[in-house]
Amino acid sequence: MLTEVVHKIVSNPWVYDSVQKLAGRDRNYERLAPLLADSAGKILLDLGAGTGECARIAPESATYIWLDNDPRKLAGFKNKPARGLALLGEANRIGLKDKSVDMAVCIAVSHHLTDIELDNAFYELARVCRVRLIFLDAIGQPSSTISNLLWKYDRGSHPRELAHLRSAFQRHFEIEHEQQYSIYHHYWLCAGRPKGYV
């Protein structure tokens, strides 16, 4: 009951952004910004974009494409002075042509997807992306009390351990860069080049 009330409150775009900030969003963005610098002058897809806060750290010359399945988050994105295009859709069925974006970023999405949806999302990202995917999500850490408490109130019900995430990623991408760090949760940040797809 309490979890449902929390989810309803956090679905408000302003509250969502505030919670993300408290949870360490800006510290995550400090790590993401150098990797996003390569998107200057390129097309950048933000998969599971929330309210489009990632557009703030993308180079101004990048063509930013917001993609999420939540109409309330879309309203939050449209109410910002952010620049970019918007596409309401699903992570595991991206409505874009093959190799139509240069780079993609996927932040805090995988724990919302089942194993099949996650594999389909990575397949789709490899299909639409020409150069690189930048992936970031919290990883399941059963021994961490703080992390377990945060997972209890998160809408995502599929936290995964690092080995599982890395294996799913490597089915579709060659890892070029990876790092682990902690901000309340334990995180895995990874960048990879798409493999060929059938």
Task: Please give the sequence-ordered ranges of beta strands (E in DSSP) within 50-166, or none if there are none.
Answer: 63-68, 85-88, 101-107, 129-139
Q: What distance in Å separates the CA atoms of residue 103 and residue 126, rounded to the nearest whole number? A: 10
Fold of 2-194: Rossmann fold (3.40.50)
CA max distance for the chain: 47
Q: What is the pLDDT of residue 18?
A: 61
Q: What distance in Å separates the CA atoms of residue 15 and residue 83, rounded to the nearest whole number? A: 21
Print pLDDT tens along the chain (198 aa). Answer: 544 544 455 566 555 556 555 556 688 889 999 999 999 999 999 999 999 999 999 999 999 999 999 999 999 999 888 679 999 999 999 999 999 999 999 999 999 999 999 999 999 999 999 999 999 999 976 555 454 445 444 555 788 999 999 999 999 999 999 999 998 789 999 999 999 764
CB atoms within 10 A of CB 100: 14
- For residues 193 and 174, the answer to whether their CB atoms sit within 8 Å is yes
Q: What is the pLDDT of residue 149?
A: 45
Record the pTM: 0.84
Domain range list for the chain: 2-194
